[in-house]
Each structure stands twice: as C-alpha cells, then as structure tokens.
Amino acid sequence: MTLRRGMRSYGTEATDVAAAGPAVELRGLRRQFGRGARAVHALRGIDLALPRGSFTAVMGPSGSGKSTFLQCAAGLDRPTAGSVRLGGTEITGMSENRLTALRRTRLGFVFQAFNLLPSMTVEQNIELPLRLAGRRPDRRRCTELLEQVGLDGLGGRRPGELSGGQQQRVAIARALVTTPDVIFADEPTGALDTTTATEILALLREAVTRLGATVVMVTHDERAAGYADQIVFLAEGAIADRTLSRSSAPLSPSGAR
C-alpha cells in the first residue's frame, strides 16, 4: 500500500514563522500523580525536540510513562512542570478552550481502537476535524485523502462495514485532513494482524516521507518502531536511550537533525 503522489504537501502553509522550529519541543517535562509518600513520578524531566517531517517511536516497559508522555505532549494532560511547544506554540498554561481548538486544528490522532464514529460515513468521519474546527468540509480534499490511503470509492460506507485495517486507514485520513503540525499515534497497529499492521505502518511512513507529516507513535512492537526514524526509550519516566532507526544522520543534543 502506498500513498499516491500529487497530494497536498505539508510545510509552509499555515505557520511560516514557526516552520523553521521543531514540530514538538519538550523541556523539563514532569508529570506527578498524587503527593507525598504516595506520589508517582510518571515523567521525571523529559527534554526532546522532534523535527518537522520526522517519525518517532516511543517505547519502554509497562509503566515507564509512554501514555503520560503522549498525553502531555498532545495537550490532553497537563504536566506538573516543564513546557510543551507544538509547531512553535507554547501550550503550557493555555486555557482549555484554546487547547481544544489547537488540538482540533493542528494535531491529528490515531488510536489502537480506531475511534471512528459508527453512525457517520467514512467521508463524514474524515471531514469531522474540519467541521469541529469551524471549517468547511472539503469534498475534493476528502476524495484525495481517500485515494491516498487506498480507500477510493468507500467514502459512503460506515465504519462497521470496513475491515480493521480499512478503519485505521480512515483514521489516518482523518488525522491528515487538517494538515496538522503533529500526528500522535497510540499503538496504531495493536488491534491488527501482522500483514495489515505492515500496511498501516507503511502508510504512516509514507505520510512522513512524502507529505512531510510529523508522527509520534507509542508502541510496544519493535518491528513497528522500525518504521520510525528514531526510537526514544523511556524507563521510569526518563529517556533511557535514543536510537536512529532508519537514517544514519546523527542527532544533535537537542534532538534536531
């Protein structure tokens, strides 16, 4: 499965000023649950900068802080300390309304359980982020995305009439529709068989390589992580290691290539 050429590219369209900076920048990120003797330090000071157009896998044992990392980086949870910049915008301290608006317009999400709305058609699911952001649904864009993810002609179906792999393709199209700064993927192949998982990972890889999308993916699966440019290993809430997965280009200390 490959993304077709001739697609809308990412990059300079919305935020030229910020375009030069990293897509994701985390500084001294801490997240503590509870207090005193019962405090759990889920994140203990994460420093990480992810360039635009990069694919990062986040791995680590159960309880190492992967979900907390994703939630804080995507503005779904508030860190106890530190800062999160997305597409050059500091989100720490943002009001809930502004955060919601930012998530709708500038972030994409792909979940293990697909999280499509069953009563809506495929096309309506893909257009949903545009509607929520108060933007006009764009039929041509939707058709283009359906082609890109290999679902031509299936726009009128409902999610229940699709296979798991097809549903995840819809979720990827939905994540791409707003041309977001970052796509956060949480175990996107966790519910899929090996062959289908490979197709979905190849699709995410191509969204990065050909469209210039930025993907941050939490996964337990080493093979899945192999599709990323780099793997960040968490252990007990800290970055224990970082390895380049596909490229041999060295990473600078700040994480930018």
Ligand X SMILES: Nc1ncnc2c1ncn2[C@@H]1O[C@H](COP(=O)(O)OP(=O)(O)OP(=O)(O)O)[C@@H](O)[C@H]1O
The smaller minimum CB distance to ligand X, of residues 33 and 249, is found at 33
State yes or no: residue 66 binds ligand X (CB under 6 A).
yes
Q: Tokens 């002609």, residue? A: 153
Instruction: Give Cα separations from 101 to 26, 64, 81 (angstroms).
Output: 20, 29, 22
Instruction: Give Cα separations from 211 to 140, 144, 214 (angstroms).
Output: 17, 13, 9
Site for ligand X in 22-41 (CB under 6 A): 33-34, 40
Query: Which secondary-structure segment (H or E) carries 194?
Result: helix 194-211
State yes or no: residue 198 binds ligand X (CB under 6 A).
no
The smaller minimum CB distance to ligand X, of residues 62 and 95, is found at 62
The DSSP code for 13 is S
CA 240 to chain centre: 21
The smaller minimum CB distance to ligand X, of residues 40 and 117, is found at 40
Distance between CA atoms of 199 and 56, rounded to whole angstroms?
A: 18
State yes or no: residue 63 binds ligand X (CB under 6 A).
yes
Distance between CA atoms of 230 and 149, rounded to whole angstroms?
A: 24
Distance between CA atoms of 9 and 85, rounded to whole angstroms?
A: 22
Query: To the nearest whole angstrom, how small is the minimum distance from the Cβ of residue 26 to ligand X?
Result: 14
Query: To the nearest whole angstrom, how small is the minimum distance from the Cβ of residue 250 to ligand X?
Result: 27
The smaller minimum CB distance to ligand X, of residues 53 and 82, is found at 82
State yes or no: residue 65 binds ligand X (CB under 6 A).
yes
State yes or no: residue 188 binds ligand X (CB under 6 A).
no
State the distance between the two ends of the chain, measured CA to CA, in whole angstroms.
Answer: 28
Q: Which of 60, 79, 155, 165 touches ligand X (CB under 6 A)?
A: 60
The smaller minimum CB distance to ligand X, of residues 47 and 236, is found at 236
Query: To the nearest whole angstrom, how small is the minimum distance from the Cβ of residue 237 to ligand X?
Result: 7
For 5, the token pair is 């050429």
Binding segment (CB under 6 A) for ligand X, from list 58-66, 124-132, 145-153, 204-212: 58-66
Contact residues for ligand X, defined by CB under 6 A:
33-34, 40, 42, 60, 62-68
